[in-house]
Structure 1
Amino acid sequence: MLKQQLQTDMKTAMKAGDKAKLGVIRLVLAAVKQREVDERIELDDAQVLAVLDKMVKQRRDSITQYAGAGRDDLAAVEQFELEVIQSYLPQALTDEEIDASITAAITASGAAEMRDMGKVMAVLKPQLQGRADIGAVSARVKQRLGG
């Protein structure tokens, strides 16, 4: 369980006195807990991955904005948070693996044109969550379906 791993790592960071890493893990656990409270459910690993994926996207956006504004100090903080969060995500897929998944999803869903994109993404999203940038995958699917 990913959530248990986060809690274990939080305790380890506390004992080691690693305040920076502890802060990031607490942010992640707070986001997970917030979603659990909002939806009144216990999150499984796939849902925790979705939370982590969202946090990674937010950090990437922040880094871009801070770097553009010349705030390298804040960009460095966001970069550190990004690296810690990414350490809990599964190994990223290669372009070839993503293309193979897209091909399989198009075949499985019977997609032939642009209006079938939702069907393809419904198949792909659970498979690729946390392992690929869903926005980039969506653009590839759109291109393959002639969009």
Structure 2
Amino acid sequence: MSLLKAIEKDYLSAYKAKEDVKVAVLRMLKTAIKNASIELRRDPTDDEVLDLVARQLKQRKESIDQYTKGGRPELAEQERLEMVVLQSYMPVQLTAEELERAIDAIVAETGASEMKDMGRVMQALQAKHKGQIDGKTASALVRARLA
């Protein structure tokens, strides 16, 4: 089943079960998907939907930071609940060891040896492990590997 259909199915079941947080998150996600389909003039692919989910997750993380700094723990907790729903649509994240092995493999594959090759390594890493890595963590590890 495509990710788009899974989101629609989960939305309907959450709506029927009166799961307010899940309904709200999936409604926002469906709106983002609809906007993307209008821009693309076709239904988005699973990779494009995954990008939208990742973008929503990033927004939630930034909001949590802002709410925490602003002394609004109740709003930060609401964002955390929304993140849990969104993370269920993301692929399983690589462990630190798996990420290091993936970086080593890509560095060897691309022949990268210095910092100027970092962009090439990061691009290959993100293409190969789409949605499975945290960009900041991966960037720090690649930087340390190439330094």
| Counterparts of 1:143 and 1:49, CA distance in 2 | 28
Aligned counterpart, 1:6: 7
Aligned counterpart, 1:29: 30
Structure 2 residue 78 is matched with structure 1 residue 77: yes
Aligned length in residues: 146
Q: CA deviation at 1:129?
A: 2.4
| Counterparts of 2:42 and 2:117, CA distance in 1 | 31
| Counterparts of 1:36 and 1:107, CA distance in 2 | 38
Q: CA deviation at 1:28?
A: 1.2
| Counterparts of 1:140 and 1:50, CA distance in 2 | 22
**Deviations 1:63-107 (CA, angstroms, capped at 9, x unpaired):** 111011111111111111111000111111100000011011111
Runs of 4+ more than 4 Å apart = none
Aligned counterpart, 1:54: 55
| Counterparts of 1:3 and 1:126, CA distance in 2 | 21
Aligned partner letter, 2:116: R
Aligned partner letter, 2:19: D
RMSD between superposed Cα atoms in Å? 1.3
Q: TM-score, normalised by structure 1?
A: 0.92
Aligned partner letter, 1:49: L
Retained in 1: the 8 A contact 2:126–2:133?
no
Q: TM-score, normalised by structure 2?
A: 0.92
| Counterparts of 1:98 and 1:140, CA distance in 2 | 9
| Counterparts of 1:13 and 1:110, CA distance in 2 | 48
Retained in 2: the 8 A contact 1:52–1:89?
yes
Q: CA deviation at 1:30?
A: 1.3
Q: CA deviation at 1:108?
A: 1.2
